[in-house]
Amino acid sequence: MTTDEYSWIEKRWLSPILEANELRLSVRRGKVIARKGWVRKLSVRPGLITGQVTSDTGASCEVSVRMEAIDETWDAVIERLANEAALAADLLGGRVTERLAFVFEEEGHDLFPFDLRDVKNFCSGHPDDPNCIDAIAVHFDFARLINGHPMTLFEFRGRSQAELVESMRELRQSDDAETNGDGEPAQSSVEGAKALLDGYWERGVVPHLAFRVERTRLSETDALPVVRALGPGPGETPPEEVVRVLAPLMRTARKRMDAIHDRAESDAVEMQEAPDPIAAESLDDLLVAAAHQHGSLTSGFVANALGIDPREARQYLKWLVEEGRLAVVGRARGTKYLPVGAEAPAGDADEA
């Protein structure tokens, strides 16, 4: 497994579990569960993440992740944000940068967990195993969430974006009041970062929104729930009538959006350069590169090349298939593992 597929913020959150050798197998399975969208109802509050993890059998369990919220450090951090223009701009833009994370470290607190002891996991399905597959899946899903919506990380650590902006505004007003009472402030060649706040949130702070696009079909009675909840439309048009008109348009738009998404993914696979085996940093990368180089792999070929049991080689290849890095064709002794997007030979395609 390589960490190159993650952004820096995902790496920082996941590093304790990715670096734990004893969790290697659990990390593989947890990653697959999160990628398949089996983590549902992810909720974030100060110091607490909760989620529901389902399996292919339909069973589900509740997972919670706790980490002590930051309290006293926030005042010092807010003052730093108010006095450094670049940091204030990052906050107002909804970005969490490495520089911003370093400010927390300088003030005596880590924004991210440093090791497994910094977080406390609990899973209703595996109460005796705090680092079970389901708990790890929730960590992967939370990493995905903060990559798209970084301000969620601040909310988990104790302050929302709205609260931070409001605190900076109050600090600015307090400083202005002191300046008016003491005379002219000292001149500075650096523009004050607090000026960035003027008028920025004139229409109020929009709370963070997290979206997950899932290819699920809604029944007619479940379609467009927001439209139904809004009540009658213009001219007292019943909401059911509005839904009846809009639902076909939404279904057509969704089909086109899915088609565009599939085409973009297909084009990305075709444009992807074959990885270089010499540059591989892990066994996973080496196997994927070998599949590109040879066109396909078999468990027997991998077993002979690595000097391991064929069953172990088959397990490695199956993991790569589950993670979406290889595709499989054929059955039994004719099973072959191909690079994703590669066309199977005619004989293999007939067997699959």
Per-residue pLDDT reduced to its tens digit, 103-157 = 888 888 788 998 899 999 999 988 899 999 999 999 999 999 999 889 899 999 9
Q: Is residue 100 part of a domain?
A: yes
Q: Are residues 60 and 177 in the same domain?
A: yes
- Give the least confident one: 227-236, 250-259, 291-300: 227-236
More confidently predicted of 69 and 73: 69
How confident is the model over 343-351, as a mean pLDDT? 52
pLDDT score recorded for residue 351 = 42
**Tokens describing residue 207:** 């709370």
Q: What are phi and psi of 121, to 5 degrees?
A: -100, 145
Q: Which of 210, 239, 271 is the last residue of a domain?
A: 271
How confident is the model over 297-309, as a mean pLDDT? 87
Q: Are residues 140 and 288 in the same domain?
A: no
Q: Is residue 133 part of a domain?
A: yes
Q: Are residues 23 and 65 in the same domain?
A: yes
- Whether the CB-CB separation of 151 and 208 falls below 8 Å is answered with yes
Residue 61 has pLDDT above 70, yes or no: yes
Q: How many angstroms separate the CA atoms of 112 and 95, rounded?
A: 15
More confidently predicted of 120 and 84: 120
Q: Which of 271, 306, 336 is the last residue of a domain?
A: 271
Q: Is residue 205 part of a domain?
A: no
How confident is the model over 229-248, as a mean pLDDT? 76
Q: Are residues 99 and 157 in the same domain?
A: yes
In the chain, pLDDT over 70 holds for what percent of residues? 74
Q: How many angstroms separate the CA atoms of 179 and 60, rounded?
A: 58
More confidently predicted of 269 and 223: 223
Residue 12 neighbours by CB distance under 10 Å: 21
Per-residue pLDDT reduced to its tens digit, 86-107 = 777 787 778 888 888 888 888 8
Q: Are residues 235 and 299 in the same domain?
A: no
More confidently predicted of 40 and 70: 40
Q: Are residues 67 and 130 in the same domain?
A: yes
* Domain membership of residue 318 as a residue range: 277-351
- Whether the CB-CB separation of 276 and 289 falls below 8 Å is answered with yes
pLDDT score recorded for residue 138 = 95
Q: What are phi and psi of 176, to 5 degrees?
A: -65, -40
How confident is the model over 4-20, as a mean pLDDT? 88
* Residue with tokens 């605190």, as numbered in its chain: 167
Within 13 Å, how many C-alpha atoms sit on residue 126's CB side? Answer: 12
Q: Is residue 233 part of a domain?
A: yes
- Structural domains of the chain, count: 3
Confidence bin at 282 (pLDDT 50/70/90): confident
Q: Is residue 332 part of a domain?
A: yes
Q: What are phi and psi of 226, to 5 degrees?
A: -65, -40
pLDDT score recorded for residue 190 = 43
pLDDT score recorded for residue 16 = 93
More confidently predicted of 173 and 304: 304
User: What does the H/E/C string look like for the chain?
Assistant: CCHHHCCHHHHHHHHHHHCCHHHHHHHHHHHHHHHCCCEEEEEEECCEEEEEEECCCCCEEEEEEECCCCCCHHHHHHHHHHHCHHHHHHHHCCCCCHHHHHHHHHCCCCCCCCCHHHCEEEECCCCCCCCCHHHHHHHHHHHHHHHHCCHHHHHHHCCCHHHHHHHHHHHHHHHHHHHHHHCCCCCCCCCCHHHHHCCCCCCCCCCCCCCCCCCCCCCCCCCCHHHHHHCCEHHHECHHHHHHHHHHHHHHHHHHHHHHHHHHHHHHHHHCCCCCHHHCCCHHHHHHHHHHHHCCECHHHHHHHHCCCHHHHHHHHHHHHHCCCEEEECCHHHCEEEECCCCCCHHHHHHC
Mean pLDDT of the chain: 78
The CATH number given to whatever domain includes residue 291 is 1.10.10.10
**Tokens describing residue 339:** 């690079």
Q: What is the pTM assigned to this prediction? A: 0.59
pLDDT score recorded for residue 163 = 84
pLDDT score recorded for residue 331 = 76
Q: Are residues 144 and 234 in the same domain?
A: no
Q: Is residue 202 part of a domain?
A: no
Residue 54 neighbours by CB distance under 10 Å: 16
Q: Is residue 328 part of a domain?
A: yes
Q: Are residues 289 and 174 in the same domain?
A: no
Q: Are residues 266 and 284 in the same domain?
A: no
* Residue with tokens 């006293």, as numbered in its chain: 72
Q: Which of 255, 271, 287 is the last residue of a domain?
A: 271
Q: 272-280: long-range contacts at Cβ-Cβ below 8 A with a sequence spacing of 24 or more?
A: 272/341, 274/339
Q: Are residues 112 and 149 in the same domain?
A: yes
Q: Are residues 174 and 40 in the same domain?
A: yes
Q: Is residue 246 part of a domain?
A: yes
> Helices 24-35 & 133-148, crossing angle to 10 degrees?
50
Confidence bin at 352 (pLDDT 50/70/90): very low
Confidence bin at 175 (pLDDT 50/70/90): low
How confident is the model over 265-285, as a mean pLDDT? 67
Beta 120-123 vs 60-66: how paired, if at all?
A: antiparallel
- Whether the CB-CB separation of 199 and 87 falls below 8 Å is answered with no
Per-residue pLDDT reduced to its tens digit, 177-235 = 665 555 555 554 444 445 545 554 444 444 445 555 556 665 666 666 666 666 676 66
Residue 10 has pLDDT above 90, yes or no: yes
- Whether the CB-CB separation of 28 and 319 falls below 8 Å is answered with yes
pLDDT score recorded for residue 312 = 85
Per-residue pLDDT reduced to its tens digit, 309-322 = 888 888 888 888 88
Q: Are residues 286 and 254 in the same domain?
A: no
Q: How many angstroms separate the CA atoms of 138 and 37, rounded?
A: 10
Sign of CA dihedral 28, 33, 35, 36: positive
